[in-house]
Amino acid sequence: MSDPWWRRRKKKGPWFNEIYDELERLGDLIDETMQRAFDESAENLPTKRTRVKGFSIKIGPDGKPRIQELNKRPIVEGDAEMTDEMEPLVDLIEDDETLTVLAVLPGVEKEEIDLRVTETCLTVSIDADDFEWYDELKLPSKINPKSARASYKNGVLEITLNKLKVLKDKKIF
């Protein structure tokens, strides 16, 4: 039963021998062509990182929605060259006391990440063999730089920052 159906049929009707032989050659030719196409495409395929675009919607402390575009790139006009370089997905999560920054960095090692923080800015720099990225993120509120804590697991960088306590004005008169 390991023979193809046309081989078994061929034994019963010799007048179809030529048709069955052609079907077998055609099947072999299709198999060879498909195998060559897959082999060549795998060799010539450049390795690219995907780029994620989108937006994030959060409700602010005032109850109004805040829309933040993810992976913003300037609009390119004229003959400027476009690249498919990966730009990490970055999200800011803010609550009353903390600010959390999440960045998706697949394929990056922990040792390749450099973080710097001030009261109003977080600087992330990555220098890997196949990927370089630098960004200065303006923070939506002032933070205490000494409170910064970072963790990196499974390609996700999480930075937690405590906000500075803002003293409210007190009316004297």
Q: Domain-by-domain residue ranges, the chain?
A: 5-44, 54-162
Instruction: Give, in words, the CATH class of 54-162.
Output: mainly beta
If pLDDT is split at 50, 70 and 90, which confidence band does 162 have? very high
Residue of 24, 25, 22, 20 whose CA lies nearest to 9: 20
What strands, in cross-sheet order, belong to the sheet with 149-153? Answer: 89-94, 98-104, 156-162, 149-153
Please tell me the predicted confidence (pLDDT) of residue 50: 47
pLDDT greater at residue 140 or residue 13: 140
Please tell me the predicted confidence (pLDDT) of residue 16: 63
Least confident of 13-22, 27-36, 141-150, 159-168: 13-22
Residue of 93, 73, 92, 91 whose CA lies nearest to 83: 73
Phi, psi of 16 (to 5 degrees): -95, 10
Task: Say yes or no to pLDDT of 91 above 60.
Answer: yes
Mean pLDDT of 81-92: 70
Please tell me the predicted confidence (pLDDT) of residue 75: 44
Please tell me the predicted confidence (pLDDT) of residue 66: 75
Least confident of 5-9, 27-31, 119-123: 5-9
Task: Say yes or no to pLDDT of 127 above 70.
Answer: yes
pTM: 0.52
Is there a contact between 157 and 103 (Cβ–Cβ < 8 Å)? yes
